[in-house]
Amino acid sequence: DIQMTQSPSSLSASVGDRVTITCRASQSISNDLNWYQRKPGIAPKLLIYAASNLQSGVPSRFSGSGSGTDFTLIISSLQPEDFAIYYCQQSYITPWTFGHGTKVDVK
Amino acid sequence: QLQLQESGPGLVKPSETLSLSCSVSGVSISSSSDYWGWIRQPPGKGLEWIGSISYSGRTYQSPSLKSRLTISVDTPKNQFSLKLSSVTAADTAVYYCARRTRYCSSNRCDHDAFDIWGQGTMVTVSS
């Protein structure tokens, strides 16, 4: 199975901060990398697909980049509704695997 | 608006079978080329893909669960289901159902992602 390693596992930030989350795959996955946001009691939300494509309806402050093994999710200006847990997921080959998540909380 | 909703017992005894259903509203499963999947998250752990199924019944399953897993689709009811046999405490988790959609990007049209999720249902395995 492809292992997905996210860092950091958690971070504290303030509204308006630029937040960067990284995800590394244990082997090359081309650009088959998705990012999700999860909040308690709410259905997880797809933010980015194919490494850099913004899902419809997702604010433009979210962006993704990378290919091969190294990927990045950036929130350009953190908003109050962005405090959540973020997961990367590879869809290159089954079994599809997820990172362990990055919790973004209030500084 | 497409919505998914999980349902099933919140408590299952060890060695028994965990059964969950996912009701789909807003689109007909049989008219969609998408796949329908299950993902779980044990307490304190990461997300784990369980498996996916098409409206015609073609399945992809996690090798680690395949021997205990049955995923099926009921097109008249517009729902799909999960059965996991011989459960143990390790199967305690929040179980999500989700739609797997295929996207086009970079001259390819085979980028898969889970674009719509249910809220999740907690299943505890305990006697």
Tens-place pLDDT, residues B36-93: 999 999 999 999 999 999 988 999 999 999 999 999 999 999 999 999 999 999 999 9
* pLDDT band, very low/low/confident/very high, at B9 (cuts 50, 70, 90): very high
**Which residues in B lie closer than 8 A to residue A95 (C-beta atoms)?**
49, 62-64
List own/partner pairs for B101-104 with CB under 8 A and 24 or more apart.
B101/B34, B102/B33, B102/B34, B103/A49, B103/A50, B103/A53
* Closest by Cα among B83, B82, B92 to B125: B92
Using CB atoms, which residue from B47, B63, B103 is nearest to A53? B103
With CA atoms as reference, the chain B residue closest to A89 would be B113
Q: Does B44 touch chain A (CB under 8 A)?
A: no
Using CB atoms, which residue from A50, A97, A101 is nearest to B49? A97
- HEC string of B44-113 equals CCCCEEEEEECCCCCEEECCCCHHHEEEEEECCCCEEEEEECCCCHHHCEEEEEEEEEEEEECCEEEEEE
Q: How many angstroms separate the first and last alpha carbons of chain A?
A: 35
Nearest-Cα distance to chain A for B104, in Å, is 9
Is residue B21 scored above 80 in pLDDT? yes
Q: Do A92 and A29 contact (CB within 8 A), yes or no?
A: yes
Q: Do A37 and A48 contact (CB within 8 A), yes or no?
A: no
Cα–Cα distance, A21 to A75 (Å, whole number): 9
